């Protein structure tokens, strides 16, 4: 597109990332500039309100100035989110939909700290993984936001970013109203969690798929917290009478 070369120079970009839609590449010269180097602090430990410890990766500008923090959160594990690779289209054999935290270097070089935890029961973190979007996970995001705000390098301003799971959890985290959460930027998210697992009211395997993507070290389904073992067995037996479930081997294999 004509004029992009001068935009590159003014914006600090050497090229337009291939995943940027040309319709939204206006005023590139007004972008903040990548003036910082990235400082990595991996496997930082923090304690939640019940004493459970989470393992967190922190990427922040190499500066003595205080900076705002961007929290990204999903049960896909923190380690893969910082892989050094370019964007990939869905049709690529290397495409992995669980790499969704965002472009770490882009934000950190422009003055934001970028934080990716292993949630409770995931990766290196302690505790039980109770399944995606469970009430405990929502409470934990509150604790991490408030922990970040008190760190000596943080301005006290915390936001959330990310795509899909990383976007969906933002709605639930904001509903907890953590005092230092200033804004959220959810992408490819939903606020209808029933439709997430029951498209049009029909049960599907979409939510079950999440468990395969989550590197849980101690998986404990949330349903086991709600019902006794006998109640759970009875409810599962009753659900198998649903013809939409009975014909799906993925839902009946247990």
Domains of the chain: 1-31 (no CATH), 34-221 (3.40.50.1820)
The pLDDT assigned to 2 comes to 44
Which H/E stretch holds residue 198? strand 198-199
The pLDDT assigned to 54 comes to 98
The two tokens of residue 167 are: 């976007």
Residues of the chain with pLDDT below 70 are: 1-15, 19, 254
Residue 80 DSSP class: G
**Number of Cβ atoms within 10 Å of the Cβ of 178:** 20
The two tokens of residue 175 are: 């509903």
Q: Is 237 helix (H, G, I), strand (E, B) or coil?
A: helix
Cβ within 8 Å of residue 215, ≥6 positions away: 76, 77, 122, 123
Round to whole Å and give the CA distance between 254 and 236: 10
The pLDDT assigned to 6 comes to 53
The pLDDT assigned to 104 comes to 94
| Stated pTM of the model | 0.86
Map tokens 């959330």 to a residue. Answer: 160
The two tokens of residue 171 are: 């709605």
């Amino acid at each position: 597109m004509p004029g992009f070369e001068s935009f590159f120079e003014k914006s600090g970009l050497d090229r337009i990332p291939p995943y940027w839609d040309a319709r939204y590449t206006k005023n590139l010269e007004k972008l903040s500039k990548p003036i910082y180097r990235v400082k990595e602090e991996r496997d930082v430990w923090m304690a939640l309100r019940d004493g459970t410890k989470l393992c967190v990766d922190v990427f922040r500008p190499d500066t003595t100035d205080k900076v705002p923090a961007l929290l990204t959160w999903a049960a896909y594990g923190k380690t893969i989110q910082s892989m050094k690779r370019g964007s990939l289209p869905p049709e690529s054999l290397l495409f992995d939909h669980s790499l969704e935290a965002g472009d770490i270097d882009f934000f950190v070089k422009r003055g934001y700290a970028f934080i990716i935890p292993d949630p409770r029961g995931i990766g290196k973190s302690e505790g039980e993984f109770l399944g995606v979007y469970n009430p405990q996970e929502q409470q934990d995001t509150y604790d991490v936001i408030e922990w970040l705000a008190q760190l000596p390098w943080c301005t006290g301003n915390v936001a959330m970013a990310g795509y899909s799971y990383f976007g969906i959890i933002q709605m639930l985290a904001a509903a907890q109203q953590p005092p230092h959460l200033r804004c959220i930027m959810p992408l490819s998210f939903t606020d209808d969690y029933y439709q997430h697992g029951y498209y049009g009211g029909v049960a599907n395997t979409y939510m079950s798929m999440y468990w395969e993507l989550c590197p849980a070290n101690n998986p404990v389904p949330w349903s086991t917290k709600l019902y006794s073992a006998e109640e759970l067995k009875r409810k599962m037996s009753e659900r198998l009478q649903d013809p939409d479930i009975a014909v799906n081997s993925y839902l009946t294999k247990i």
